[in-house]
Structure 1
Amino acid sequence: MNTWGTAAFDNDAAKLFVQEVLEDGAFALQEACEVVLDPDTDFVAEEEGARAVAAAEILAAHLSGDTETVFDSALQDWIEKLDAGELEPMRELAAEALARVVGPDSDLPEYWTESEDGEEWFGNMARLREVLG
């Protein structure tokens, strides 16, 4: 990934993922989570981890009703058009995916541990985990 920032959409993989969500809807969210949870995947690469974090952020925005962290206006519109609780069945899946992304078998925690902005990124991950339960 070339663009980096501590927010869920502050990287190239997440920005591309937004377009997938706008095209494929909830299926894209589910797929991003399932990829990092695949039992045949020994290690979560940066791109897959970033996509799962973005999926978790979208789900959290929908469940909480707070789209402040979603900077793409088309994605905000998509989230706001969903029926209340429509994505609720994905809550557990997204929480498990996020746990895997911030765990020891993932590229992202290592990157952020070595970064001066790591505390902020880990804080964002803790916020998402709290929203997802």
Structure 2
Amino acid sequence: MGTWDIGHFDNDTAADFSYTLDETAMDQRANLIRTTLTRTAQTQDYLDNSRAVEAVAAAALVAAQCPGGEPVTTSYGPDEPLPVLPNDLRALAVEALDRVVAGESELGELWDETPKGPLWRQTVSRLRATLDLQAEPQEHLLFETSPTDSV
């Protein structure tokens, strides 16, 4: 795998995933992202590097559509726009990222062998935090009562 930096698309596998997305029909792109995330989240055995890299890229695309999410602006990301992705992909992306950074993950092991490993883990953690804020609905206080309201 050719990797040139810690960004979610800064490697050959993620760039290839972007190309595949661009070549996929618009109405099937969300399904490709779902399949990629599901395949990683459900991996019980040792997680292959390529699957993990694709899951991180897919999660970054989901997070880009979240409020506060960073847009994917790298030239190695998809050239074609994505449709609005279903909200349930956010929780699935969190599961996939948790699997990527867990034990028995080739990608995690490879990064841990480098000086930039902690920084890579921080970028994945920030990505997860963006998704996790969106994964579960926030409860909002609809109205406040003052002491004079209750009698």
Please give the TM-score of this superposition, normalised by the length of structure 2: 0.75
Give the deviation of 1:38 after TM superposition. 3.0
CA distance in 2, matches of 1:112, 1:16: 20
Give the deviation of 1:27 after TM superposition. 1.5
Q: Which residue of 1 aligns with 2:6?
A: 6
Runs of 4+ aligned residues of structure 1 deviating over 6 Å after TM superposition are none
Aligned positions, number: 128
Q: Which residue of 2 aligns with 1:119?
A: 118
The correspondence of residues 18-37 of structure 1 with structure 2, limited to 5 A, is: 18-24=18-24, 25-37=29-41
CA offset digits 1:45-65 (Å, max 9, x no partner)? 110000000000010011236
Structure 2 unaligned residues grouped into runs of 5+: 133-151
Answer whether contact 1:61 1:70 (CA < 8 A) is retained: no
Q: Percent identity?
A: 31
Residues 1:132 and 1:66: Cα distance change in structure 2 (over 3 Å): closer
CA distance in 2, matches of 1:74, 1:12: 11
- The answer on 1:93 being equivalent to 2:97 is no
For the pair shown, which has the larger CA radius of gyration, 1 or 2?
Answer: 2
Give the deviation of 1:74 after TM superposition. 7.3
- Which structure shows the bigger proportion of residues in helix conformation? 1
Instruction: Calculate the aligned-residue CA RMSD, in Å.
Output: 2.1
CA distance in 2, matches of 1:129, 1:32: 16
The correspondence of residues 64-79 of structure 1 with structure 2, limited to 5 A, is: 64=67, 66-72=69-75, 75=78, 78-79=81-82
Please give the TM-score of this superposition, normalised by the length of structure 1: 0.84
